[in-house]
Amino acid sequence: MSKITYESALREGCTLLQASSIQDAELDAWYLLEHVTGLRRIDYMIRAKEDMSIEVYERYQQLLKKRALHIPLQYLTGSQEFMGLSFRVNESVLIPRQDTERLVEEVLKVSKDKDVLELCTGSGCIIISLAKLGNIKNAVAVDISSDAIKVAKENAKDNEVLVTYLLSDMFSNVSGTYDVIVSNPPYIESEVIEGLMPEVKDHEPRIALDGDADGLKFYRILAKESGRFLNKNGRLYLEIGCNQAAFIGELLSQNGFAQIKVVKDYAGLDRVVSAVYEG
């Protein structure tokens, strides 16, 4: 094989991903090059016309071909940033989204010295961010997937926080009471999932996406059962789909919650519902 430079390899990567209709093809080609070479942008600018080693080039090509099949970038690099922290991800967990940072930001306003329970923790990005940034008293997180809990435990260790993880179908193995319950549950309508991007519908765990026929299955459970696990005037924080606020607000008001508040994300869409349990 003839020698190939970093510059020509990146150009090849952009061309391949563009031909495969990958959104942000140029950016993803760069991130994969950065991942396999360890080059920062400034390093690349200096060394662009230098030759790559055959081993590094072949590794880059392998990852490009996987990305061309619409395997998410984050599953190929094995990480995603969230709230300024780094989280390991694989196909056992949902990739953390920037929209979910709004949920964490809202909980951080009240989380100091609080006992916090998270349901549907996945990668652990929410509870770990709260434990790292919020000075919470006690952090407990739940997921139905043992593979997800394995990832979450690794992330807690990486970020040097103490979180107790429980393998549990929602509240089934939860005990005690908490000041705050937080959750980003599955909330996409079942029939909508097949119309999502292939990166999502074909690769992210369906169990973390599917909210049943109307997308509200897990909100019904949270509205009905959270009160048993909340201290007096405890707070519930939920990420929601942008068209679900009215339905979820009604569910909460029917189950003893008051002071129901809807918070928009930075795109101006409904993203978070919070409420206080009054019994």
Residues 215 and 149 in one domain: yes
Q: What is the pLDDT of residue 3?
A: 82
Residue 143: inside a domain, yes or no? yes
Residue ranges of the binding site: 143, 184-187
pTM score of the predicted model: 0.95
Q: Residue 167 has which token pair?
A: 């393998």
Residue 79: inside a domain, yes or no? no
Residues 61 and 121 in one domain: no
Q: How many domains does the chain have?
A: 2
Give residues with Cβ within 8 angstroms of 192, minimum separation 6. Answer: 215
- Report whether pLDDT(221) > 90: yes
Q: What is the pLDDT of residue 4?
A: 94
- What CATH number does the domain containing 153 carry? 3.40.50.150
**6 confidence band (pLDDT: 50, 70, 90):** very high
Residue 28: inside a domain, yes or no? yes
Q: Alpha helices of 135-253 — where are they, by DSSP H?
A: 146-158, 190-193, 198-201, 217-225, 245-253
Question: If you average pLDDT over residues 229-253, what whole number do you get?
Answer: 97
Residues 65 and 196 in one domain: no
How far is the C-alpha of 126 from the C-alpha of 141, rounded, in Å?
Answer: 9
Residues 34 and 115 in one domain: no
Residues 55 and 140 in one domain: no
Neighbours of 146 (CB within 10 A): 10
Percent of the chain whose predicted confidence (pLDDT) is above 70: 99
Digit-coded pLDDT (tens) for 169-214: 999 999 999 999 999 999 999 999 999 999 999 999 999 999 999 9
Residue ranges of the binding site for S-adenosyl-L-methionine: 143, 184
Residues 49 and 170 in one domain: no
**71 confidence band (pLDDT: 50, 70, 90):** very high
Residues 117 and 174 in one domain: yes
Residues 236 and 124 in one domain: yes
Residue 148: inside a domain, yes or no? yes
Q: What is the pLDDT of residue 1?
A: 59
- Which structural domain range is residue 138 located in? 91-277
Residues 183 and 250 in one domain: yes
- Collapsing DSSP to helix, strand or coil, 124 comes out as coil
Residue ranges of the binding site for substrate: 184-187
Q: Alpha helices of 134-186 — where are they, by DSSP H?
A: 146-158
Residues 60 and 98 in one domain: no
Q: What is the pLDDT of residue 158?
A: 98
The sheet with strand 270-277 has its strands ordered as 164-167, 138-143, 115-119, 178-183, 230-239, 270-277, 257-264
Residue 38: inside a domain, yes or no? yes
Q: What is the pLDDT of residue 196?
A: 96
How far is the C-alpha of 258 from the C-alpha of 15, rounded, in Å?
Answer: 54
Residue 81: inside a domain, yes or no? no
Q: What is the pLDDT of residue 184?
A: 98
Residues 177 and 111 in one domain: yes
- Collapsing DSSP to helix, strand or coil, 75 comes out as helix
Q: Residue 197 has which token pair?
A: 């991007």
Map tokens 């008293």 to a residue: 137
